[in-house]
């Protein structure tokens, strides 16, 4: 029976690598999307034979009701959700004095609140089934916290605290909660933002996807509360 994964941010650069990794393993993947161009690129990258195992749904992953409804539709269509990967996120540069309230709030919502909302949507059914894997994407750049990107640092550090706390709450209930901590990833956005840096020194998104696949595997049932730096 194919495993069913819900991947927030699954239409972005890292998200597409994660989605393809699960599809290649024979899994079913539900990807909520909000940007049509990203949705179109993901859909075009999947062959016809695999397309039947990709569920693309327009959804604001920061909206509690929308995510709860999406999780319910996924369970109704496929019977369950085995894996949640929270890869929705974004980056903002600026120290405290350069960070206005709008940027602060946006980073907290994009990186931390979306993780909370998606996890709340899937966790009750996982606990009831006594089985589930939750993998969040945090950041190596915030361990230890760095200056100059305070909103991003605090939001991703919050993801780490969320994962470690939830791992304690789900201990012994069949659900594992872990995080991957990539360093700078080789993505089109990062290449555009840092054109003078050699991208060969950056982490390939496929390496991050492989690490997530390990933490999401059925065989990783004794790994929880782990922060896997990549």
Q: Per-residue DSSP letters for 23-41? A: HHTT-EEEEEES-HHHHHH
Which percentage of the chain shows pLDDT scores above 90? 85
On average, the pLDDT of the chain sits at 94
Residue 73 sits in a domain whose CATH number is 3.40.50.720
Cβ contacts of 8 within 8 Å, gap of 6 or more: 15, 32, 61, 84, 85, 86, 87, 88, 114, 118
For residue 77, the enclosing domain spans 4-229
pLDDT in tens, 81-118: 999 999 999 989 999 999 999 999 999 999 999 999 99
Number of domains in the chain: 1
Lowest mean pLDDT, pick from 4-8, 120-124, 144-148, 173-177: 144-148
- pLDDT of 202 reads 83
Lowest mean pLDDT, pick from 20-24, 39-43, 75-79: 39-43
d(CA 68, CA 79): 15
- pLDDT of 181 reads 96
List active site positions. 152
The reported pTM is: 0.94
Q: DSSP label at 108?
A: I
pLDDT in tens, 171-230: 999 999 999 999 887 777 777 778 888 788 888 899 999 999 999 999 999 999 999 999
- pLDDT of 140 reads 93
- pLDDT of 198 reads 78
């Amino acid at each position: 029976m194919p495993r069913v994964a819900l991947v927030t941010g699954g239409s972005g650069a890292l998200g597409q690598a994660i989605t393809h990794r699960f599809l290649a393993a024979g899994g079913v993947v539900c990807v909520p999307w909000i940007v049509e161009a990203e949705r179109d690129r993901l859909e075009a990258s999947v062959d016809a034979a695999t397309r039947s195992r990709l569920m693309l749904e327009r959804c604001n992953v920061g909206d509690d009701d929308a995510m709860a409804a999406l999780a319910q539709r996924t369970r109704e269509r496929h019977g369950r959700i085995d894996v949640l990967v929270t890869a929705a996120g974004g980056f903002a540069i600026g120290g405290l004095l350069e960070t206005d309230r709008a940027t602060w709030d946006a980073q907290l919502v994009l990186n931390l609140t979306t993780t909370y909302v998606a996890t709340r949507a899937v966790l009750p059914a996982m606990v009831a089934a006594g089985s589930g894997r939750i993998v969040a994407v945090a950041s190596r750049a915030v361990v230890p916290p760095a200056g100059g990107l305070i909103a991003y640092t605090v939001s991703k550090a919050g993801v780490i605290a969320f994962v470690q706390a939830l791992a304690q709450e789900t201990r012994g209930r069949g659900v594992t909660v872990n995080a991957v901590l990539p360093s700078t990833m080789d993505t089109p956005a990062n290449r555009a933002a840092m054109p003078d840096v050699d991208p060969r020194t950056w982490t390939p998104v496929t390496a991050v996807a492989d690490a997530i696949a390990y933490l999401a595997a059925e065989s990783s049932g004794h790994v929880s509360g782990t922060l896997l730096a990549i």
